[in-house]
Amino acid sequence: MKTTAIQLTKQYIHDNKDFIIGNISDHLLYNFWNDENSFYNYLTDDEVEEMNNNVDLTHKRGVEVEEFIKENFNYNIENFIY
């Protein structure tokens, strides 16, 4: 996981707060699972390269990112502080 993943995600939320309704993690997870490039937002280049060379890691990395999002952004957009 990128060491800057939380800060980058907070910046994304701040930039898109007018388009996020309700729970932030729901919004982020919808985008994550429906955008084939979303892994790049959370994983290091080495992790993405490793995943691309081993298809079995795709699901594992996806679950790791999902857990990260739920752990850090499982609250309503009205409670977001940047």
Phi, psi of 29 (to 5 degrees): -65, -40
Amino acid 52: pLDDT:
87
Q: Which range marks the domain in which residue 33 is found? A: 5-10+23-73
What confidence tens digit (pLDDT) does each residue in 1-50 have?
899 999 999 999 999 999 999 999 999 999 999 998 888 899 999 999 99
- Torsion, CA 48, CA 27, CA 80, CA 18, rounded to 10: 120
69, part of any domain: yes
Q: How many CA atoms, within 13 angstroms, populate the side-chain half-sphere of residue 14?
A: 8
* pLDDT above 90 (res 55): no
Q: Is the pLDDT of residue 70 over 90?
A: yes
Structural domain count of the chain: 1
Q: Is the predicted pLDDT of residue 67 greater than 90, yes or no?
A: yes
| Residue 44 in domain | yes
Q: What is the pTM of this model?
A: 0.90
The answer as to whether 81 is a domain residue is no
